[in-house]
Structure formats: C-alpha cells, structure tokens
Amino acid sequence: MGDNESVQVDDEVVIGRRGLDELMASLAALGYEVTGPVVRDGAIVHGPLAGTGDLPVGCHDQQGPGSYRLEEGQDEALFGWAVGPASWKASFFPPRETVWSAAPQDGSGTPSIAQADDEPGTLALFGARPCEVAALDILDRVLAGGEVPDPSYVRRRTGTFIVVAECGTPASTCFCTSMGTGPAATAGFDLALCELPPGGDGTHEYVVRIGSARGAAALEVVPHRRAGAADLDARRQVLSGAETRMSRRLEVDGLRELLAENIDHPRWEETAERCLSCGNCTLVCPTCFCSDVRDVSDLSGTVERHRHWSSCFDRAHSYIHGGPVRSTTASCYRQWLTHKLSTWWDQFDTSGCVGCGRCISWCPVGIDLTEEAAAIRETSATREGRDA
C-alpha cells in the first residue's frame, strides 16, 4: 500500500507526524473545524489546531487526588499525557448560551421572539481519548436521545468527526479499565490513532485504524503504509502497558444496588466534613449535564433567556417552594455520587462515569470517588447484615 492508495473501513495503516499534519489539512479541506488538545495556562485544554505543532508536543502530566502538573518540552511525543480539565462537553453543551431573546417591535405591543439558531461549524475532534468518546455517547443519550432532544446540543453535535488517540500514558487518577472505556478505542470513532514508542531519531509513528467510510476518505490523501505485524504488536504492547500501569480501580459489581441501599450511610457525613461544595467535580466531569436558566432584561425591553451549567452542589439548583431539597453538603455529595454510579442506570441504562479521573485531580481537597465507593462497600449496612 503506497501513498494515496485507497483504504477502507477496518484497514490498519501507519503514518508519521507529517501524515498527521496532512490529515488535519485533509479534514480542514473537507470543511471541518479541527479542534484538539492544546496547552494553555499550564494545562491541556481544547483549541483550534492548524498542525501538529499546536498539539502538546513533549508534554506529560502528573496527576493525583487534588493535583495536576504539566511537564513540558520533554520529547517528541504528541499524546504523552492523559486528560486535562477540559472535556468535549463544552464544545456541544457550552457553559453559557442564549436560548432565545425577545425584543419589542416598533409600533406594536407584541414582542418578536427569536430562538437561538446559530449554525455552528462541524467539528473534527482530533486526539479525543477513548473514555471521552464514551462520555460523548453518554451525553448523546441524555441530551440527544429521549422524547425531547436538546436542539442546541443536536445542532452542534451533528456530523462530528472523531479522531481518537488511544491512551498509552494513563494518569494515576485514571480507571477506565474498570468502566470498560479504555485505553483502547472500540467504537464511536472515524479514525483511531495509537502513538508507537519513538524510533532511534526520537520521532513517533502512528498506527491508524479506520472506523468509517468518511475516515477512509479523509485518510486517502495522507501518505501511509499498511501496518505490519511488528506495528500491530507494538500497538498491543502500548495498550497492555497502559492497562498494567493503571492501578486505580472502581469495583462496579453490584455498585448500583449498593449505593441505593446505603443512602443513610455515615460516610456521606464524613465526606461532607472535607467537601467544600465548590462543584469542581461536576464542572470537569465530561458527563454531568445539569443546567439552569435565567432571564435577563434591560431598559430597552429586550429579554434574553440564558442557560448555564449548574451542579448538584448549587443549593439553588434543588430549590423548590420553601427551600432547597438538598440543603446540606452531605446530601449534595450523596446526590452526585449516587446519580453518577447508580440512578443514572435507571434513567439512561448506563453508568454516568467513564473513569477519566478528572473529578479526583480537580477536587481541591482530593476527594476520590473510587475511595468513597470502596469505603461504603466495606462498611455497608447490607454487608453487615450479610456477615451477621
């Protein structure tokens, strides 16, 4: 298979860094807005990509409960990190947006109402991790599935092209193996890259698996060679090494029932003594979708309805007549954890967690949901009853 030789779904090819640059150019020529990981303010977030020089070249992250450090300029690796604080959620479900606006019409008492109908460009997500693709699948169920899909989300999400970067460098906070969402990509991608270890000159090659016809079309013009047995073996080793190094675990067997049976467990109060109710965990989570609306008016008579992200930890979010349903930190944390790992199943037939570890790294006091779930399992009322 030489340059420009035709490729099809399920083919596995190898490209170099120049090939990645040409792939980005190919996607841009096809009309996509290419967006992916970039370094900003000492963290990996998302931004426009014009070439591989915009990626976090040589960056490696050190993460732990309540900590995140990025070491820059180490080598030629483009994907030598896990996940940063930003998730793709913000690209399709922005932190703030205008839902509609109303303005007085000249000479009539009837206002004209305009629904937000912006036509966002179609995104190509370049370098999304497998757990992040799983998170998008969950958000699709929540915001695009059901009887009343969210029009703004659907408008932004339709046609998204996904280039996955399989994960060879999990952080200590990752536990995607427990959730079945990584480190290899299994579905939901147009192309899946795996960065191989560096060659003698320090540069990397990439095994690319083709997941869709449009993935094949985008790759058609990119110089490539067919992946050989050695390339495929190298990919397997990268991924099995990542699995081996991932030491954090979440025991998911019976977890849904366990949490449902332990709403009065004393651990909720113990955790609340540390929890700041800051909501960071919900903001960085790629699947949390709570929002609130606010109507804003000015003296000209214009009214706008704004939607913004909310959180289990925002007391106003559960406010109904007379006060908030969840008025204590313990009840907010319990709502967050039990929704994510238990009642999400009732609503959407899936867990709400993909094991990305963001809520652990970005919790200012290092509260770790895997530790919380394990503590409840260890001392649950059900277990005591069973062991008696």
* Helices assigned H by DSSP within 59-180: 89-92, 130-139, 151-157, 176-179
Minimum CB separation from ligand SF4 for residue 162, in Å? 18
Minimum CB separation from ligand SF4 for residue 277, in Å? 5
Q: Select 242 or 367, whichever has its Cβ closest to ligand SF4.
A: 367
Residue 12 neighbours by CB distance under 10 Å: 18
With a CB cutoff of 8 Å and minimum separation 6, the contacts of 283 are 309, 311
List of residues contacting ligand SF4 (CB under 6 A): 275-281, 284-287, 313, 340, 353-359, 363-365, 367, 369
Q: Select 65 or 127, whichever has its Cβ closest to ligand SF4.
A: 65
With a CB cutoff of 8 Å and minimum separation 6, the contacts of 318 are 312, 324, 325, 326, 335
| 24 vs 36: CA distance, rounded Å | 10
DSSP for residue 342: I
* b/e 230-249 (16+ beta carbons within 10 angstroms → b): ebeebbeebbeebeeebebe
Minimum CB separation from ligand SF4 for residue 147, in Å? 25
Q: Select 23 or 285, whichever has its Cβ closest to ligand SF4.
A: 285
Minimum CB separation from ligand SF4 for residue 362, in Å? 7
Q: Select 114 or 276, whichever has its Cβ closest to ligand SF4.
A: 276
Minimum CB separation from ligand SF4 for residue 373, in Å? 11
Q: Select 39 or 360, whichever has its Cβ closest to ligand SF4.
A: 360
| 182 vs 25: CA distance, rounded Å | 28
Minimum CB separation from ligand SF4 for residue 367, in Å? 4
User: How big, in percent rounded to 5, are the helix, strand and coil portions of the chain?
Assistant: 35, 20, 45
Q: Select 26 or 173, whichever has its Cβ closest to ligand SF4.
A: 173
Partners of 295 in the beta sheet? 305
Minimum CB separation from ligand SF4 for residue 50, in Å? 29
Q: Select 19 or 127, whichever has its Cβ closest to ligand SF4.
A: 127
Phi and psi of 112, rounded to 5°?
-95, 135
